[in-house]
Chains A and B, each alone.
Chain A
């Protein structure tokens, strides 16, 4: 809202600015190293040389949440781990996105019991859900591209 007023409602400038900022955000979104269980192995396989995640600028995982934009929750979240996930999400600076990779992160998966949180969206808000147990690396890449398309549609009023 602030920038819109300052540019005197010059619509064309703000649209181009939106496109520029969104495109640059998708250019190199750094994921946080958050592999929990089996899906982490497929995530590592996606980052290796066969299915390269480096083409999205994601070849490195930042270990520190303060330096990352994207949290790929890969694997089942147990009840003991849930507050840790929330704390790490809170420590990430805006703008941040969350991909729930795999069935366990999306809805609890095979494990419908006392120990597994039934879907990580009970703990953090999720942008993209990727199904599979574990999803193929191509599936994860499809999820990342879907997230990029979602980011490209973001508007000024959401983040300014």
Chain B
């Protein structure tokens, strides 16, 4: 496939320098790289291989597995070559920390804030580590797998009164 041929030198270079493990699924290339090298790998892709834009940075939680518990996934796009590449950084559950990608791409700013807010992964060197989508004093990180959904019992006719008694109705 043409995308693979274009990405071949990129994958090889990253394999040699950072011991990246490539994987291919449905025509997409994703590389598993140790989290200590995240900023160097991304800078290498931006400066040497013209990956000008960070499309997305997100995280996946693999609880109850603890080493690694999270995978931080960064998707990069190159305008000149028109290819997408995905980098995965496995992060431990006990000390979930990485270096921030903001020095490489300023657009990672809010994305990393969201990952801190929803997963609890700290980004060292981030200029603005605050919660972004949850209220300021919220405790917990909702998108972790051990955080409950917060489901409320649905009111049907057989349990209508019971649910009604628990609901907090507001007064004037």
Contact = CB atoms under 8 A, between A and B. Distances in A.
Please say whether the chains A and B touch (CB closer than 8 A): yes
Interface string A113-125: 1110011011111
Contacts of B27: none
B142 interface: yes
A125 B170 CA distance: 5
B168 interface: yes
Given A80-B134, A80-B135, A125 B149 contact: no
Main secondary structure of the interface of B (DSSP, over half): loop
Contacts of A80: 133-135
A108 B152 CA distance: 9
Interface residues on B, range: 10 to 19
A96 to B, nearest CB: 9
A143 B170 CA distance: 21
Interface in B133-164: 133-135, 138, 142, 147-152, 154-155
A112 to B, nearest CB: 5
Nearest to B169: A121
Contacts of B149: 112-114
Interface of B: 133-135, 138, 142, 147-152, 154-155, 167-172
27 contacts: A80-B134, A80-B135, A86-B170, A107-B155, A112-B149, A112-B151, A112-B154, A113-B150, A113-B151, A114-B142, A114-B149, A115-B142, A115-B150, A118-B152, A118-B167, A119-B167, A121-B169, A121-B170, A122-B167, A122-B168, A122-B169, A122-B170, A123-B170, A124-B170, A125-B169, A125-B170, A125-B171
Contacts of B134: 79-80, 115
Contacts of B170: 86, 121-125
A29 B171 CA distance: 22
A112 B135 contact: no
Q: What are the 8 tightest A-B residue pairs by CB atom distance, in nearest-first order?
A: A114-B150, A80-B135, A118-B152, A113-B150, A122-B168, A113-B149, A123-B170, A112-B151
Contacts of B148: 114
Interface in A19-75: none
Contacts of A86: 170
Interface string A94-130: 0000000000000110001111001101111100000
